[in-house]
Amino acid sequence: MNESSAPQNPEHRSVFLDKQHPAAWRALNGLGLKAKEAAEDAGLDDKLIELLNVRISQINGCAYCLDLHVGDAVKGGESAQRLAVLSAWRDTTLFSEKERAALTLAEAITSIADARTRDHEGAQARKHLTPEEFSAVSWLAITMNAFNRVSIVSQHPVRAAGD
């Protein structure tokens, strides 16, 4: 018997937070849309936005969000090579200075490092990001982290393509 056909243990049923409290989910979606709008207004392109969503989801281990955002990144023209090495982006030359700054900032926000590390990484990011871009990347990271947590806690399933 495979996992999908295994009987569900009633003690381990998922509670989909988005379904249980749809008003809270709609509010989070609204925040996510505003964060994306701020990023676009700051001049960040959709490829970078999706790279950030994927990297944050990698750090948090959110399979559902990875499935969603890798697909969106590919549809948006992101290369398989860059997606494949994204978790080791610091060891490649495939990312621009602005992308590297945005990834540094998103990782710092996701991991909530100590104050000295946050200050250092924030200063590095500010060298290549305008204040508007810095703020927009921060809001993208904050909201993506929230979406990751909702999906992880809810145990949103990843279904095979075509299901």
pLDDT (tens digit, 9 = 90+) per residue, 122-148? Answer: 999 999 999 999 999 999 999 999 999
> Is 14 domain-assigned?
no
CATH code where residue 96 lies = 1.20.1290.10
- Residue-level pLDDT at 154: 96
- Residue-level pLDDT at 6: 41
> Is 105 domain-assigned?
yes
Q: Are 54 and 103 within 8 A, CB to CB?
A: no
Per-residue model confidence as pLDDT tens digits over 64-119: 999 999 999 999 999 999 999 999 999 999 999 999 999 999 999 999 878 898 88
The total number of structural domains that make up the chain: 1
pLDDT exceeds cutoff 70 at 11: no
> Is 34 domain-assigned?
yes
State the residue range of the domain holding 126. 26-154
Name the one residue in this structure whose structure tokens are 């909702």: 150
> Is 163 domain-assigned?
no
Which amino acid, one-letter code, is at 60? N
User: Rounded to an integer, what distance in angstroms lies between the CA atom of residue 106 and that of residue 161?
Assistant: 29
